[in-house]
């Protein structure tokens, strides 16, 4: 992505994950309240979602390449965050409105590793809604390294029942 475009996105938007209520912000991949997590942050880029992540040297599979489990985790968390954002958009709601939070969990995760993903470069994750139907949102995600798609993923996300969300938020 063009660095100016990225800078504009970062300067003008809050990440989707910043809208998660505190009780729902502990995920290892995307929870802002998890001190040890990845802190994935997802944003709108037109009709697509985007996130960036730079793997650390210890995210290694073999010398020079990223561990596949990390790549699947990035797809998983960007996918569920994207599912929530698309659901809010489809409902005509802002992510910071007073209604019950829309949170999604992974029902299915499919990952195709197309080529080894190099360490030492920033990865870009691009998400697109393939389906929005009832409580289900399907997100297709590309992982891009050095302007090449190295991994493709599909997340089938289901909306967490409102009862569980409210119960978590009300806990002391």
* 31 vs 21 pLDDT, higher one: 31
pLDDT tier, 21 (very low <50, low <70, confident <90, very high otherwise) = confident
At CA 38, angle to CA 36 and CA 42, rounded to 5? 140
pLDDT greater than 70 at residue 38: yes
Beta bridge partner(s), residue 131: 138
- Tokens 């697509």 locate to 48
User: What kind and span of H or E run contains 164?
Assistant: helix 162-170
Residue with tokens 């910043």: 18
Is it the case that residue 120 has pLDDT exceeding 70? Answer: yes
The answer to whether the CB of 74 falls within 8 A of the CB of 147 is no
pLDDT tens-digit series, residues 153-163: 999 999 988 77
Q: Which has the closest alpha carbon to 79: 53, 56, 100, 110?
A: 110
H-type alpha helices, 38-145:
68-91
The answer to whether 97 touches 61, Cβ cutoff 8 Å, is no
Question: Model-level pTM greater than 0.85?
Answer: yes
Find the helix or strand (DSSP H, E) in which 151 lies: strand 148-159
Give me the chain's average pLDDT, please.
94
Tell me the per-residue pLDDT of 75-116, one tens digit each, with 9 for 90 and over. Answer: 999 999 999 999 999 999 999 998 888 999 999 999 999 999
Structural domains of the chain sorted by starting position, each given as residue range(s) with its CATH number in brackets: 3-170 (3.10.129.10)
Strand, helix or coil for residue 135: coil
Average pLDDT over residues 63-79: 97
């Amino acid at each position: 992505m063009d660095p100016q475009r990225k800078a504009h996105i970062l300067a003008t938007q809050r990440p989707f994950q910043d809208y998660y209520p505190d009780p729902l912000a502990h995920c290892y991949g995307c929870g802002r309240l998890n001190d040890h997590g990845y802190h994935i942050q997802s944003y709108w880029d037109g009709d697509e979602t985007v996130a960036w992540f730079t793997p650390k040297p210890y995210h290694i599979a073999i010398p020079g390449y990223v561990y596949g489990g990390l790549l699947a985790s990035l797809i998983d968390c960007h996918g569920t965050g994207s599912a929530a954002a698309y659901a809010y958009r489809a409902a005509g709601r802002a992510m910071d409105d007073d209604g019950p939070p829309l949170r999604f969990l992974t029902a299915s995760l499919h990952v195709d590793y197309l080529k080894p993903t190099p360490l030492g470069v920033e990865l870009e994750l691009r998400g697109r809604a393939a389906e929005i139907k009832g409580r289900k949102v399907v997100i297709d995600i590309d992982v891009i390294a050095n302007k090449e798609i190295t991994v493709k993923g599909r997340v089938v996300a289901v909306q967490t029942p409102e009862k569980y969300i409210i119960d978590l938020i009300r806990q002391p």
